[in-house]
């Protein structure tokens, strides 16, 4: 009797599974469309949460630290250029002109550095406040998951930040020859660096939440590559817009948290279905 009941239940379960699979095949859009819809929805939720006090605290702290880094960089550039000009052009430029030249060169190099390195520095700084962004999103949208999250120790945040900086510098350095080869096209270099930084940003922004929930044996980020790249491209584009670039990393981290939780939910559902 028990065996017969078990067989009937197993048969019904298989029929239900085939039915749900058929529904998914009929109703769900193609994978690329699902990825785009998921990214757009995650970005919309992230922007909608910018009014939270917890999020604004992170905005003020991360933007403040990022700007302080560049202020320090500007001061260091001025000192280094003033010294270099004093050594190399002391006999040509009078002291007053030398200081003016050092200031102008420092401002020029600082502007170029800000444009090229803002993404790298902003993401490195955000790593130290990632727990707060992830916690704010989870408390509002995923309260059960928030209870099981494991905040990363400071040394892990520092390690993640340094790895991200090295990875970003290395990837952009490798992309530089390709960008230079395409400079005659006008838009080629911009597209090359957009693609590279879309890949980098998508990984960094979704890792912020994933690393706080993954098991020690788990290594692969469950967010589909297409979703990561689309999110990274959106945030990389926003970082090119003045003032919007100050909020873009925060919005990206919040959206990455949504994508990570959706991916973890899909993985859990598949594990249950195959059990």
Per the CB < 8 A criterion, the answer to whether 206 and 256 are in contact is: yes
Give the whole-angstrom CA distance, residue 161 versus residue 169: 12
pLDDT tens digits along 232-262: 999 988 888 888 888 898 999 999 999 999 9
pLDDT tens digits along 51-89: 888 888 888 888 888 888 888 887 887 777 777 766 666
The pLDDT-based confidence of 106 (bands split at 50, 70, 90) is confident
Quote the pLDDT of residue 23: 32
Q: Indicate the range of 4-8, 45-49, 176-180 predicted with least confidence.
A: 4-8
Per-domain residue ranges of the chain: 49-265
pLDDT mean across residues, the chain:
78
Quote the pLDDT of residue 222: 86
Quote the pLDDT of residue 235: 92
DSSP annotation string for 68-115: HHHHHHHHHHHHHHHHHHHHHSTTTS-HHHHHHHHHHHHHHHHHHHHH
Per the CB < 8 A criterion, the answer to whether 79 and 267 are in contact is: no
The pLDDT-based confidence of 173 (bands split at 50, 70, 90) is confident
SS3 content of the chain, % helix, strand, coil (to 5): 85, 0, 15
% of the chain at pLDDT higher than 70: 79
Q: Is residue 228 packed enough to be buried (19+ CB in 10 Å), middle (13-18) or exposed (0-12)?
A: buried
Quote the pLDDT of residue 26: 34
CA angle 272, 273, 275 (to 5 degrees): 60
The pLDDT-based confidence of 96 (bands split at 50, 70, 90) is low
Quote the pLDDT of residue 259: 94
Which residues does 14 contact at the CB level (< 8 Å), separation at least 6?
Answer: none
Q: Which residue has the higher pLDDT, 41 or 20?
A: 41
Per the CB < 8 A criterion, the answer to whether 201 and 223 are in contact is: no
Per the CB < 8 A criterion, the answer to whether 209 and 228 are in contact is: no
Please say if the pLDDT value at position 24 is more than 60. Answer: no
Which residues does 7 contact at the CB level (< 8 Å), separation at least 6?
Answer: none
The pLDDT-based confidence of 110 (bands split at 50, 70, 90) is confident
The pLDDT-based confidence of 45 (bands split at 50, 70, 90) is very high
pLDDT tens digits along 176-202: 888 888 888 878 888 888 888 888 889
């Amino acid at each position: 009797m028990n065996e017969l009941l078990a067989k009937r239940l197993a048969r019904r379960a298989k029929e239900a599974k085939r039915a749900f699979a058929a529904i998914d095949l009929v109703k769900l859009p193609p994978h690329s469309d699902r990825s785009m819809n998921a990214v757009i929805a995650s970005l919309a939720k992230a922007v909608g949460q910018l009014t939270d006090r917890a999020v604004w605290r992170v905005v003020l702290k991360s933007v403040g630290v990022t700007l302080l880094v560049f202020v320090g960089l500007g001061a260091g550039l001025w000192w280094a250029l003033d010294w270099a000009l004093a050594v190399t052009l002391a006999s040509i430029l009078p002291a007053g002109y030398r200081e003016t030249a050092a200031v102008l060169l420092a401002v020029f190099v600082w502007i170029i550095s800000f444009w090229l390195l803002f993404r790298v520095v902003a993401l490195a700084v955000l790593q130290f406040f990632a727990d707060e962004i992830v916690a704010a999103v989870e408390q509002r949208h995923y309260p059960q998951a928030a209870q099981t999250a494991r905040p990363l120790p400071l040394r892990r945040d520092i390690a993640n930040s340094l790895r991200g900086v090295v990875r970003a510098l290395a990837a952009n350095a490798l992309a530089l020859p390709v960008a230079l080869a395409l400079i005659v096209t006008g838009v080629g270099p911009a597209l090359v660096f957009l693609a590279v930084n879309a890949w980098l940003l998508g990984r960094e922004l979704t890792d912020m939440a994933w690393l706080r929930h993954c098991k020690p044996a788990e290594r692969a980020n469950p967010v589909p590559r297409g979703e990561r790249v689309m999110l990274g491209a959106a945030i990389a584009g926003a970082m090119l817009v003045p003032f919007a670039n100050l909020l873009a990393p925060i919005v990206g981290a919040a959206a990455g948290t949504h994508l990570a939780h959706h991916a973890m939910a899909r993985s859990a559902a598949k594990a249950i279905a195959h059990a």
